[in-house]
Each structure stands twice: as C-alpha cells, then as structure tokens.
Amino acid sequence: MNAPSSAIESVLVENRVFPPSAATVAAARIAGMPAYEALCAEAARDYEGFWARLARDNVRWIEPFTRTLDESSAPFYKWFDDGVLNASANCLDRHIGTPVEHKTAIVFEADDGAVTRVTYRELLARVSQFANALKARGIRKGDRVVIYMPMGVEGVVAMQACARIGATHSVVFGGFSAKALQERIVDAGAVAVITASYQMRGGKELPLKAIVDEGIALGGCESVKTVLVHERTASAWNRVAGRDQTFVEALQDRSTECAPEPVGAEHPLFILYTSGSTGRPKGVQHSTGGYLLWAKLTMDWTFDIRPGDVFWCTADIGWITGHTYVAYGPLAAGATQVIFEGVPTYPNAGRFWQMIERHQVSVFYTAPTAIRSLIKAADSDAAVHPRNWNLSSLRILGSVGEPINPEAWMWYYTHVGGERCPIVDTFWQTETGGHVITPLPGATPLVPGSCTLPLPGIMAAIVDETGHDIPDGAGGMLVIKRPWPSMIRTIWGDPDRFVKSYFPEEMGGTIYLAGDGAVRSAGGPAGSGVDRGYFRITGRIDDVLNVSGHRMGTMEIESALVAKTDLVAEAAVVGRPDDLTGEAICAFVVLKRARPTGEEARQIANELRNWVAKEIGPIAKPKDIRFGDNLPKTRSGKIMRRLLRSIARGEQITQDTSTLENPAILDQLGQTN
Ligand code: PRX
C-alpha cells in the first residue's frame, strides 16, 4: 500500500465554514446537530437496536426479521437474515393506495430533448410485465442477468424486473468494451443479457447490441440463452434466431401483474463489477434487505427528500451511484426523479442548467468532474454560464465520486446553488452500497472539500497499518470498524479475495478497509460549534485511479497494454493529478522494437490508446504514453512506481535512486513525445 498522498497539506488549509440557515434546519428531517448527535448516541448505546428500529420503520417486510446482525462468520456479516422481502415491492407496490401512486416517478429527457413521464402506477405495470417476460424465458430466482443499457426508463425497468423475480442483476456500463462485457458475463454466469439496439449520446447513434454479439462471440458465454433488445432507434441490427427477442416481442400478451418473489434479506440483489488492485475486476455482491434500507434511508437523511421534490442524480445506472440513487433509492422514497439519456455538453454545456430549470429540479446530484468541465465551458462561453437560467427551484446540491476541490465547490455553491443550497459532498464506494461519510443538509456546517462526518451508525475511523487509531490531524487509512447493513457481502465467486481486499489480517480481520487515505481535523471547524473532527479523503492508497470519477485499476490497464503482444513488451501505469479529470492515466511502455520518437511515437501511442479502448473501454485510455528502452527497476527487478509517479507529475526526482538498476532511464522517460 502506498502512503496517503501529499494532498493532505493542500486540503488542510481550507477554513471557510458554511452553517445551514435557520430556515433549512427548521424544515429538515434531521434538524440541526443535536438531532444528528442523538442518532449517533442511539447507535452507540444499542447498535443492533438502532439498526433494527430503522429496518422496521423503512423497509416493508413480507416476513419480519427476528435477528438483526449475525457476526458468527465474520467478515461475512449477515443482516436481518431471517427477514423476507422483495426490493421491487419496496420501491413500487408500497406506494399503491398512497398519494404517491399517481405521482410521476420518472421524468425522462432523451438526448434530443424529448420528454416522457411515467407514474408510479405505470412503472409498477411496466416492471411487472417485464418480470413476466423474463419468467417466460425461463429466468428464475437466483439466476444472473447482465444489463447493458443506455440511460432510460427501460434500464430501470429491467433492473426492477430482475429484483421482482429474485434474479440477480449485473449492470455493465454502456461505455465498456465487448471484451469487458464478456468477462463480466462469464464471471457472473449470466443466463440472459438485456440490452438496446443502439444508444443516443450527444446526437450520435452508438451500437450496443453489436457489442453484445461481439462479446458473446469471444467465448465462454454458453450460459446466455436470451438476449432482449430494446429498439431505441429505427436502425437495423443483427438478430440471432432463437436467442434474441425485441422488448415488444417479449412483452406481447404478458400480464401487467406479477406477484413479487419473496427473498431472504441476504439474497443477492445485484453484482456490480469494480476495479481493484489486480487486473481482474471484482464482482461486488450486495444484499437485498440491508442495501435497500440504506438506499431509502440515505435519500431521507442525506437528501432530506420531501414529497414535492424533483430529484436528479446524473449518474449512469452502470455505476453504483446509478444503482442506489437512480434505480432504487428515489423509488423507495417515493420521489419524482429526472433521468437523462445524454451528455452534459450536448447540444451545449448549458444542458444541465437548462434541464434543472425545465424540470424544476430541487435536489441535484452530480460529480466534480462534470462541475469542473462546466466551469471551464462557462469561463470560455458566457452563454452557457448557469446565470442564464433560473435555478431557484434548487434546494440541495450533491457531489460524488471523487474529491471536490474547494474552487469547484465554491463555484457550485455560488453559481448553481445561489449561495442558498447546502452541498452534500458524499463519500462512499461501490462496496459501501450508499453514503457513509457526508454532511446532512439541515445539520452539518459545511467546509469546502470535506465530506465532514460519518452518518449515524457508521463507525468510521482513521488507523495505521495495524488497525490502531491515528491521532486527529495526522493522515492514515480510512476504515469502518463495525459492519453496517448496506456493506458488500462478498466478491462474487471469490470469497478469499473479499477477505484479503477488505479485512486485512494485520488489522484484526473484522474491520472494513476502504482503500482510501483520510485525515480528520482535531475538533470541528473553527466557530462552528461542532467538536467532532471532520474527515477529508486524500485519495486511494492502493493501485486504483479515479479518472473523472471512474474507478480504474492500474493493473487492469497494464494487462490491456501487454495484451498487445505484437508490440508491447512491458508496461507500467500510474496516475497524475489533472485539473479536469481529477487524475489522469499515464502509461510507461517498453516496445518489442526500438524506442520510437517523434511522429512514430505519436502514431504508436494512438494505436495503443485505441487498443486499450477496445480492451476495456474509452474511459481507460491513457492520456499520456511515454516510451522507454526499459522501466526503472530495482536490482531485484521490481518496477519503482513511486519514481514513475514523480516522472508523470513532471517533478524533479528527489527520492533515493541508489537501488535503481538503470538510473539513466529516468531522463529518457521524463521526455514527452
Ligand atoms: O476514492 C474514493 C472516491 O471514489 C472511490 C469509490 O469509487 P466507486 O466505487 O466507483 O464509487 C464511486 C461512487 C460512490 C472511493 O474509494 N470517492 C467517492 N466519493 C468521494 C470520493 N473521494 C472523495 N470524496 C468523495 N465524496
């Protein structure tokens, strides 16, 4: 593990504090810090009782649980495990017969601006009908179904329909390549793939079904008996007889009623692949009961969601944010949400602001990368500055996926939120299922760039390699000391890797290691009246990069590069800070031929970028590729990554290079092509 990065210094200097207004506090569900403290005290006093109360109040159980937490096979924790429920019933059926039944569940805005609305009643009918279509194809409880869909109502319907019949879905982001898709289908042993013929992004029609065919053709996907295709556009696509069916065909004559399948609380609701320290993505497995509790509860706590709100989370359903805060949380909370098919810069970089005004969005949740790119666009073109739109419907802003730099925070606060809306900087991960460290809009005084305090019941701490607490003010590793309901249950098919990745023996084997460095201030922000220390995330401590809020393993990209066997002998990938994307991917490559320079180097670098896009997806393309005759290695042959990190940042090498086998290589790698 690498030491937590030096970003600690730069974030510690922030001392602006933004307390919530008296009016915000008065109206909030968790109203003021005393209310937050009371919930924390309840969790400290009776941990299981706290969670049991919340699970009873927030989840609709078909059969109530009698056991709250089972730690007997730690770290394979079980929550509410004798309880029986259905996730889809908790998102849809629960609203029938209430005022939510005829409320708009989804406002869908297509890439071209066309808008469609679906009520809760209609959504229930569509999900039920789709669930019946899945059953008609022989898909049953416990089967795995891969979903490879654009953003739209259909993607959410597909996820909810799987949940309704107890099938475990695994959504693969539509930007992943055929190879990445195939690896996930194989690992999950999927019996079906749900996809679209094409996706529309930024005015362009991009194939999806063709990529599914290409992926399946790579082999090992014999388990896939069904491919369901949503015909998004009128363009033709290739049909495999017997296996492929359009949505229209699959739904024909299917009833719009389907009783939700009762499942145990620990039943795997979904598997979502994410990057880790090794080349192979890990299938993070989530439960039904604990996950759903947290999706619903964090909508209430973090977003303080109310009946009249219009919620918009811009994340794709291919990521965890799109699971918890698009497909499940807003529905469980009975909210109206916006789903957007396109990209923030089409037809211009004012699209988000225009949509907020158009749909009267009150709670807006996006990623720092999007904010940074929209700041840049507004700086160079006044016509796309948010001031051109009426954003007075906004009440709460959220940030997710990567650290938000104080400059971007201030711009978001001032120009989007009109200095009126609290920003919830939500720290969490695919593995945590939902927010774990975040401000509460009606309680927590905000500090730009800090995710502030753990949610009630989340026992976050900062420790050293042996699991011992680190004094406030010093950086260390972020851990969560007690299990919580929405945590990862295992890595699909690889329980050993689950234990090794998240519950290191040196820390005692039962506390969750997040993989991020963090620092907590000594005491609360000056003058805020809060005496608890605030958390700041300082970046990953493993070989995982965060590029535009997308998680990428360095080893994954290295494996992709060396898979180009005709060209590449060796590759090492590191990250370097980037103003726009947070981190940028920098690859150092040794070719099987002489080191190229000039035009040839540029050409080969492009060839390699396109290769990586084909192997993983365009998000994994290295921004910077440098060629060397060799890589900096110790005499025992180990690549010295810390040196590569310095080179990538353009820093003077001040580290000790005496153990280096080939010091001259440093100069060569320092040259850009
Ligand atoms: O490094 C942290 C960063 O994103 C990682 C988790 O990535 P992923 O599993 O893809 O989930 C992203 C959406 C929840 C974390 O380990 N991260 C996420 N949120 C924040 C963050 N870093 C700083 N501040 C955040 N608010």
Quick: pLDDT tens for 355-388. Answer: 999 999 999 999 999 999 999 999 999 999 999 9
Mean pLDDT across 14-33? 94
Model confidence at 1: pLDDT above 80: no
Model confidence at 11: pLDDT above 90: no
Model confidence at 156: pLDDT above 90: yes
What confidence score (pLDDT) does residue 15 get?
Answer: 79
Could you list the beta-strand ranges (E) of 579-664.
582-591, 624-627
What confidence score (pLDDT) does residue 13 get?
Answer: 57
Q: Which protein residue's CA is at the shortest distance from atom 11 of ligand 1? A: 429
340 C-alpha vs ligand 1 centroid, how far in Å?
22
Please give the DSSP secondary-structure letter assigned to residue 655.
S
Kindly report the pTM of this predicted structure: 0.95
453 C-alpha vs ligand 1 centroid, how far in Å?
15
Mean pLDDT across 146-164? 98
User: Among the atoms of ligand 1, which is closest to the Cα of residue 425?
Assistant: 26
426 C-alpha vs ligand 1 centroid, how far in Å?
8
402 C-alpha vs ligand 1 centroid, how far in Å?
5
Q: Considering only CA atoms, which of 480, 325, 512, 456 is closest in space to residue 51? A: 456
Token output for 230: 């949503």
What are the CA-CA distances from residue 532 to residues 10, 311, 404 (Å)?
21, 30, 21
Distance of alpha carbon 68 from alpha carbon 643, whole angstroms: 49
Mean pLDDT value across the chain: 95
621 C-alpha vs ligand 1 centroid, how far in Å?
20
User: Is there an atom of ligand 1 within 6 Å of 14 CB?
Assistant: no
User: Among the atoms of ligand 1, which is closest to the Cα of residue 319?
Assistant: 10
The enclosing H or E element of 365 equals: strand 363-366
Q: Which protein residue's CA is at the shortest distance from atom 5 of ligand 1? A: 429
The β-bridge partners of 336 are: 310
Residue 143's contacts (CB-CB under 8 Å, 6 or more residues apart) are 167, 168, 191, 192
* Spatial contact of 518 and 99, defined as CB atoms under 8 Å apart: no
User: Among the atoms of ligand 1, which is closest to the Cα of residue 451?
Assistant: 26
What are the CA-CA distances from residue 104 to residues 95, 160, 325, 331 (Å)?
12, 17, 16, 10
pLDDT (tens digit, 9 = 90+) per residue, 236-288? 999 999 999 999 999 999 999 999 999 999 999 999 999 988 778 999 999 99
Residue 594's contacts (CB-CB under 8 Å, 6 or more residues apart) are none
User: Is there an atom of ligand 1 within 6 Å of 402 CB?
Assistant: yes
**Half-sphere exposure (Cβ direction) of 566: Cα atoms closer than 13 Å:** 4
User: Is there an atom of ligand 1 within 6 Å of 451 CB?
Assistant: yes
* Spatial contact of 157 and 327, defined as CB atoms under 8 Å apart: no
Q: Considering only CA atoms, which of 147, 187, 149 is closest in space to residue 163? A: 147
pLDDT band for 234, please (50, 70, 90 cuts).
Answer: very high
